[in-house]
């Protein structure tokens, strides 16, 4: 079945450590996104990529890094520079094509990161 797979589902990290969250999609989508979800704050955009080997910062990119070496994969690294990394991280993808392109995002199941 086509979809987006995020791993791990749960992750614990000590302060000062970097951690990488995986996101893989087999929907043949060009665009991929990372959002962060905190209680009562909705989803905030971290990074997005419209095409392989290209990505742009979102609204809260500080302390995060990404790569887009393959169309299917868009890993997110939470670095030690991120001041408050404990959150639920959601990866999404979408098509970039022309009509009909509603801009709909398809989401993975999320990864919950807890910093101890």
Q: What are the residues binding another protein (CB under 8 A)?
A: 4, 6, 31, 33, 35, 40-43, 45, 48, 50, 56, 58, 90, 92, 102-110, 112
What DSSP state is assigned to residue 73? B
- Residue number with CB closer to another protein (75 or 80): 75
For residue 69, CA distances in Å to 14, 49, 65, 114 come to 28, 11, 13, 27
**Separation between Cα atoms, residue 94 and residue 64, nearest integer Å:** 21
- Residue number with CB closer to another protein (16 or 42): 42
- Residue number with CB closer to another protein (43 or 80): 43
Alpha helices in the chain (DSSP H): none
For residue 31, what are its two tokens?
């665009």
- Residue number with CB closer to another protein (6 or 82): 6
Report the nearest approach of another protein to the CB of residue 90 (Å). Answer: 6
Report the nearest approach of another protein to the CB of residue 36 (Å). Answer: 11
């Amino acid at each position: 079945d086509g979809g987006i797979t995020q791993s791990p589902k749960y992750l614990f990290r000590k302060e000062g450590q970097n951690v990488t969250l995986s996101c893989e999609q087999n929907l043949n989508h060009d665009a991929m996104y990372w959002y962060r979800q905190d209680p009562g704050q909705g989803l905030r955009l971290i990074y997005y990529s419209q095409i392989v080997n290209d990505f742009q910062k979102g609204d809260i990119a500080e302390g995060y890094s990404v790569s887009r070496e393959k169309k299917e994969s868009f890993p997110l690294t939470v670095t030690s520079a991120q001041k408050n990394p404990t959150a639920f991280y959601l990866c999404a993808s979408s098509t970039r094509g022309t009509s009909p392109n509603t801009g709909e995002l398809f989401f993975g199941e999320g990864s919950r990161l807890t910093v101890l």
